[in-house]
Amino acid sequence: MHATDLSIHYGAKKAIAGVTIDVFEHESLALIGPSGCGKSTFLRSLNRMNDTVEGVKVGGSVELDGEPIYAPDVDPVLVRRRVGMVFQRSTPFPKSIFENVAYGLRIAGQRDSRVLAESVERALRRAALWDEVKDRLSDSGMSLSGGQQQRLCIARALAVEPEVLLMDEPCSALDPIATAKVEDLVSDLRRSVTIVIVTHNMQQAARVSQKTGFFYMGRLVEVGDTSTIFTRPRHRETEDYITGRFG
Ligand SMILES: Nc1ncnc2c1ncn2[C@@H]1O[C@H](COP(=O)(O)OP(=O)(O)OP(=O)(O)O)[C@@H](O)[C@H]1O
């Protein structure tokens, strides 16, 4: 994906401006920066999730496989199928584990029960949850632990085979063990799906990403190889943030 000179306003308030960035296939990109700097706003712009916010204005462009996703003839529902999303708080539906994962496939019109079963199994395997739930697929998604629920939401997002997966602080409500499982998953998944992950946790960014972008006050200050950003940042603001001087 590629964003060019992207700006987003909520009413009169500018949330991000002048953001130009490449998101490379088969890599994960971590977005870091202090609270309110525009990370989530930027993330949500990549699958037009901001469209649902009243009074939002988007300038500049975002391309997916060279196609502008904000062009007037583009259906945002199709964009969201290609660019999936996982949120901070896991949000299983009050349905069975199976139906939680099958949900997007059913919406997309899949009716074949064999195809559904295969797709659900594949998504649960990719989300490293299959072994824990394969004997209880008809139990409620809400009966799972917090970490399992988050992996269920990841499986639900993966079931429709998106090209890109956006993750907005996916571990912030999880304990360290559940967090480690999701981090391992992100490290594995990026081989088959491009990942953009917002995190407050710099160790997490260092562990799971190949590229890191630092946002500050609505601007992308710098983006580069994760190892470089954390050892030799080019900008003073980045250095101050990663060394804990603010934020
Ligand atoms: N729906 C909204 N309506 C109005 N202003 C908003 C909305 N969402 C975000 N903002 C504002 O836009 C700016 C960027 O917010 P955003 O949530 O993108 O930052 P963030 O870096 O993700 O912060 P955090 O780490 O705290 O989640 C903030 O000033 C915020 O108050």
Q: What is the pLDDT of residues 190-225, one digit of tens each?
A: 999 999 999 999 999 999 999 999 999 999 999 999
165 pLDDT above the threshold of 90: yes
> How close is the Cα of 48 to the center of ligand 1, in Å?
15
Band of residue 1 on the pLDDT scale cut at 50, 70, 90: very high
Distance, first Cα to last Cα, the chain:
28
> How close is the Cα of 49 to the center of ligand 1, in Å?
13
Can you read off the two tokens belonging to residue 112?
A: 């074949």
What value of ipTM does the predicted structure carry?
Answer: 0.96
**CB-based pocket (< 6 A), ligand 1:** 10, 13, 15, 33, 35-41, 53
Residue nearest atom 23 of ligand 1, based on CA coordinates: 36
Half-sphere exposure of 180 (CA within 13 A, CB side): 2
Which pLDDT belongs to residue 234?
Answer: 97
Pairwise CA distance, residues 227 & 212, whole Å = 9
> How close is the Cα of 136 to the center of ligand 1, in Å?
39
What is the rounded average pLDDT of the residues 136-145? Answer: 97
> How close is the Cα of 50 to the center of ligand 1, in Å?
11
Q: What is the pLDDT of residues 23-76, one digit of tens each?
A: 999 899 999 999 999 999 999 999 999 988 999 999 999 999 999 999 999 999
Residue nearest atom 11 of ligand 1, based on CA coordinates: 15
Q: Which atom of ligand 1 is nearest to the CA of 44?
A: 18
Q: What is the pLDDT of residues 72-126, one digit of tens each?
A: 999 999 999 999 999 988 889 999 999 999 999 999 999 999 999 999 999 999 9
Ligand 1 probe mutation, 19, 31, 39, 199, most atoms within 8 A of CB:
39
Band of residue 247 on the pLDDT scale cut at 50, 70, 90: low
Which pLDDT belongs to residue 91?
Answer: 84
> How do beta strands 211-216 and 219-225 pair?
antiparallel
User: Cβ atoms within 10 A of the Cβ of 137, count?
Assistant: 18
Residue nearest atom 5 of ligand 1, based on CA coordinates: 10
> How close is the Cα of 42 to the center of ligand 1, in Å?
10
Residues 6+ apart with CB under 8 A from 12: none
| pTM of the shown model | 0.95
Residue type at position 207: R
227 pLDDT above the threshold of 90: yes
Half-sphere exposure of 245 (CA within 13 A, CB side): 7
Pairwise CA distance, residues 173 & 35, whole Å = 16
